[in-house]
Amino acid sequence: MEASGNLSKMKALLGDEIAYSLYLGDDIVEMNDHIGTDVSLIFNGVINCVSCGKVTKKAFGQGFCYPCFINSPMNAECIIRPELCEAHLGKGRDPEWEKKHHLQKHYVYLALTSKVKVGVTRHDQIPTRWIDQGAWKALIIAETENRQEAGLIEVSLKNYMGDKTPWRDMLKDVRDTSMDLLALRDKAISLMPEHLKKYGVTNSKITELNFPVDEYPEKIKSLNFDKTPDISGTLMGIRGQYLLFEGGEVLNIRKFSGYHIDFSALD
């Protein structure tokens, strides 16, 4: 099969096995169907900004032209550091956008990849956020009224539990199966600032995630369309937003949002 268009991050559906769809403009490729087969993704040199749509010679921050990278609320500092969010004060790069996206219910969660991490996401991004991070198990530990509150809880916990995903270990399926998420949740709530403990959640259920991977690599080599426009090989699986190829080569799809790609698969 063949498909062509500007690349977007893969959409994923939680089930017994996560089902991935690759979006290339108006074309959609059901990627699970191609695991175990040879696929090809060719970058034709055109990048369109994911915000304004203009052609850009270089993409910044996962698909933005430089002006949008500097000015778009999607790239504001509070995206990375939610504790700095000012949506509740009516402030931000775009107050209306902030109100729509950040002045609403947020979750603080614990996720397991190779180790536990604490994270923050908008309520309607569960389980998408966990899938994108490649977590194999996750649990909500707090529910707040806005992004800043969730960020303050995350800051109070990250020195104890970390807030980064070790992506190389995740792609090798390194796991610490001794970790007890329920016990970690209870510890996390006890460590929250007193005025934020009221947001702690003790009745949420653990979500387990099963990724469509035939074989995990022992060593990792990251691929880059800017250096290698023609990326081809046997697709061994998908985890997070990564395509895993035979031989340990991996491609972060989300990193190249806006790139115009020609996709083909030898079915």
Distance between CA atoms of residues 192 and 21, nearest Å: 38
Banded pLDDT at 162 (limits 50, 70, 90): confident
In 3D, which of 107, 77, 108 has the Cα closest to residue 92?
77
Distance between CA atoms of residues 240 and 255, nearest Å: 12
In 3D, which of 155, 140, 159, 130 has the Cα closest to residue 200?
140
Q: Based on the domain organization, do 232 and 194 belong to the same domain? A: no
Among the candidates 184, 208, 232, a domain finishes at 208
Q: How many CB atoms lie within 10 A of CB 106?
A: 27
Structural domains counted in the chain: 2
Q: Based on the domain organization, do 89 and 139 belong to the same domain? A: yes
Q: Based on the domain organization, do 164 and 227 belong to the same domain? A: no
Q: Based on the domain organization, do 196 and 138 belong to the same domain? A: yes
In 3D, which of 115, 123, 106, 90 has the Cα closest to residue 167?
115
> What are all long-range contacts of 57-66, with beta carbons under 8 Å and residues at least 24 apart?
59/256, 59/257, 59/258, 59/259, 62/254, 62/255, 62/257, 63/256, 63/257, 63/258, 63/259, 64/258
For 11-48, the pLDDT digits (tens) are 999 999 999 999 999 999 999 999 999 999 999 999 99
For 98-126, the pLDDT digits (tens) are 999 999 999 999 999 988 999 999 999 99
Q: What is the pLDDT of residue 267?
A: 66
Q: Based on the domain organization, do 146 and 242 belong to the same domain? A: no
Q: Based on the domain organization, do 96 and 177 belong to the same domain? A: yes
Q: Based on the domain organization, do 201 and 219 belong to the same domain? A: no
C-alpha dist (Å) from residue 134 to 43, 106, 145, 159, 170: 25, 20, 26, 21, 7
State what percent of residues in the chain have pLDDT above 70. Answer: 100
Banded pLDDT at 240 (limits 50, 70, 90): very high
Q: How many CB atoms lie within 10 A of CB 175?
A: 15
In 3D, which of 134, 163, 135, 139 has the Cα closest to residue 10?
134
**Could you identify the residue written with the tokens 């991490």?**
117
State what percent of residues in the chain have pLDDT above 90. Answer: 93
- Per the structure, the complete domain to which residue 9 belongs is given by 2-63+212-266
Q: Which residues contact 125 (CB under 8 A, 6 or more apart)?
A: none
For 57-103, the pLDDT digits (tens) are 999 999 999 999 999 999 999 999 999 999 999 999 999 999 999 99
Q: What is the pLDDT of residue 159?
A: 85
- The first and second tokens of residue 125, run together, are 């991004």
Task: Evaluate if residue 146 carries a pLDDT over 80.
Answer: yes
For residue 231, give the amino acid letter: I
For residue 30, give the amino acid letter: E
Q: What is the pLDDT of residue 163?
A: 80
Q: Based on the domain organization, do 49 and 78 belong to the same domain? A: no
Among the candidates 164, 189, 208, a domain finishes at 208
Q: Based on the domain organization, do 98 and 138 belong to the same domain? A: yes
Q: Is the dihedral of CA 79, 84, 90, 93 positive or negative?
A: negative
Reported as half-sphere exposure (CB side, CA atoms, 13 A), residue 249 has a value of: 12
Among the candidates 158, 178, 208, a domain finishes at 208
Q: Based on the domain organization, do 16 and 74 belong to the same domain? A: no
Q: Based on the domain organization, do 193 and 235 belong to the same domain? A: no
Banded pLDDT at 1 (limits 50, 70, 90): confident
Q: Label the pairing between strands 221-222 and 137-144.
A: unpaired
Q: Based on the domain organization, do 43 and 30 belong to the same domain? A: yes
Question: Mean pLDDT over residues 221-245, rounded?
Answer: 97
Q: What is the pLDDT of residue 249?
A: 97
Q: What is the pLDDT of residue 165?
A: 83
For 177-225, the pLDDT digits (tens) are 899 999 999 999 999 999 999 999 999 999 999 999 999 999 999 999 9
